[in-house]
Amino acid sequence: MKSWGKEIWDRKQAEQGSLGVIAGTVETKSFFDRQTEKEFNIIEKGVLPLLNKNARILDAGVGPFARFSMEFAKRGYLVTGIDIATRILEIAKKRVDKSGYKVKLLEDDLTNIKKVKEKQDLVFCFGTFGHIPSFLSLTVLKEFNKVLKKGGYAYVHFWINREKRIGNLLHDFIYGIGHYIKIKIGRGYKVNSSFYTEDEIKEMVRLGGFEIVKKNSRGIYLLRKY
C-alpha cells in the first residue's frame, strides 16, 4: 500500500478512527480543539480582514472533524471542503450536519482538483500539505492557483525541515514507539511526511504562481496568487 492517497486514509479512518487520522498515536481530541481555537484566532486577525463578507473558501484536506470548515461557515463564508477519502468525508458530513452549518463536501484529489467549479477567494490547507509526497507538492500548489480568483489567497501549512529541540525529539521518540506498536499489531501505517527548507518553499511558491504575503516560524505561509 502506498504511503499517500485514498486507500491509506480510508483504512486509517476505518481502523484508527477520526482521532487516528488527524492525531496519529499520541495527541488527544482536546489538544486539537485547543489548536483549532488558537489557529482560528490568528486567522481572524490576519486573514479574514482580507476577504469579502461572502468570500468562497476551499478547505483542502477537510478531515473527519471538518473543524476549520465549520469555523469558516460559522462566520458566514461559502465553504467547500475536499478530501480524497470516502470514509473521512462520511464522518465529516455527519459532524457538519449535526452542527447545522453549511459546508459543501466533495471527494477530490489535491493533485488534480476537478469538482470545485467556482473560483475561490481563499484556499486553506492546514496539516495536510505535509502528507503530499514532495514530488507532487508543486503540482498541488499549481492546483490551488488554478481554483483561486486572480489575487486570491492561499493559507498553507508547510512542514519545515529544521534542527529539532529536545522536546521535539522526545515527542518523536514517543510517537515512534506508538507507531511501531500499532504496525506490529496490524493497525499502523507508514504515512508520507514531507518536510522543506525555507529556500525550497520560497522556490516552490514562486513556481506555483504565488507571492508570499506573510509567514511565521511554524511554517504557516499566507500566499497571494499573481
Residue 108 in contact with residue 117, Cβ under 8 Å? no
Q: How far apart (Å, rounded) are the C-alpha atoms in residues 136 and 141?
A: 9
Query: 13-47, pLDDT tens digit by residue?
Result: 998 889 888 876 567 888 888 999 999 999 999 99
Query: 92-144, pLDDT tens digit by residue?
Result: 999 999 999 999 999 999 999 999 999 999 999 999 999 999 999 999 999 99
Residue 142 cell numbers, joined: 499549481
Domains and CATH numbers, the chain: 6-225 (3.40.50.150)
Residue 178: pLDDT above 60? yes
CB neighbour list of residue 28: distance below 8 Å, 6 or more residues apart? 19
Q: What is the pLDDT at residue 165?
A: 65
Phi, psi dihedrals of residue 136, rounded to the nearest 5°:
-110, -5
Residue 109 cell numbers, joined: 484529489
Over pLDDT 90: what percentage of the chain?
77
- Say how many C-beta atoms besides its own lie within 10 A of residue 43's C-beta: 20
- By three-state DSSP, how is residue 2 classified? coil
- CA angle 156/86/122 to nearest 5° reads 25
Q: How far is CA 175 from the centre of its chain?
A: 20
Averaged pLDDT for residues 132-160: 98
Q: What is the pLDDT at residue 62?
A: 98
Query: 41-69, pLDDT tens digit by residue?
Result: 999 999 999 999 999 999 999 999 999 99
Q: Which of 157, 159, 169, 167 is nearest to 196 (CA)?
A: 159
Q: What is the pLDDT at residue 174?
A: 61
The model carries a pTM of 0.89
